[in-house]
Chains A and B, each alone.
Chain A
């Protein structure tokens, strides 16, 4: 069966510090991978998605970046965190099995607080 891991679960970082969040998927090959951010009590904001190794699409201009060094590994990074980067970061995977059937499966998330 497929599983998705994210770490760390929680993180407190000072403004201006770097960030690296990692997401890995097991039990599937060539998944679509996604990074979302969710502010407290708000909806899901798609940040990046990837359909293959080295292929990254950015949805929102910001000081974050994403990389996919391996098929089932997705990394979210920042060189200098801002206060506005605080939020709940969710990684998700999907496999397109047919026309318009892109069900997404989410990881447990990382709760980031920037002080």
Chain B
């Protein structure tokens, strides 16, 4: 079945440093979504990418969908303590249900 892996599993940065998490699928995807889960909270939808090579930005967050539509990345510029949480990618193929990645937990020290 479809698998979605994320690396790293965990990263601890100092406030102001950049952060990147990578998402890799075993199969070609129709689209990729990103979610953020704050500590103690529930996952919240951030963004969806559909096109090959697509890049989208949300303030300090940059999301990219690979040319082959099998990988994606989330880059945070100049992290802040409010960025703390676990970031999940999730991919779908056609009308199949969404498959969540393994998640990357980000800790930001002030």
Interface positions of A (Cβ within 8 A of B): 32, 34, 41-44, 46, 49, 90, 94, 96, 99-109
Contacts and interface: CB of A to CB of B under 8 A. Distances in A.
Contact of A43 (B42, B92, B101): B101
Contacts of B98: 94, 102, 104
Interface stretch (B19-27, B43-51, B56-64, B71-79): B43-51
Given A43-B100, A43-B102, A100 B94 contact: yes
B11 to A, nearest CB: 14
Contact of A49 (B93, B97, B101): B97
Contact of B48 (A34, A44, A101, A106): A101
A107 B43 contact: no
Nearest to A105: B45
B42 A108 contact: yes
A44 B88 contact: yes
Interface string B78-99: 0000000000101011110110
A44 B100 CA distance: 7
- Give the interface residue-count category, chain B: 20 to 34
Given A43-B88, A96-B95, A104 B105 contact: no
A34 B97 CA distance: 10
Q: Which 9 residue pairs spanning A and B have beta carbons closest together?
A: A100-B30, A106-B42, A44-B100, A43-B103, A43-B102, A100-B31, A100-B92, A109-B42, A106-B43
B45 A104 contact: yes
Given A43-B88, A43-B102, A44-B88, A103 B45 contact: yes
A95 to B, nearest CB: 12
Contacts of B93: 100
Contacts of A101: 31, 48, 50
B44 to A, nearest CB: 7
20 contacts: A32-B97, A42-B103, A43-B103, A44-B43, A44-B88, A46-B97, A49-B97, A90-B42, A90-B43, A96-B95, A100-B29, A100-B50, A101-B31, A104-B45, A104-B90, A105-B45, A106-B43, A106-B44, A108-B41, A108-B42
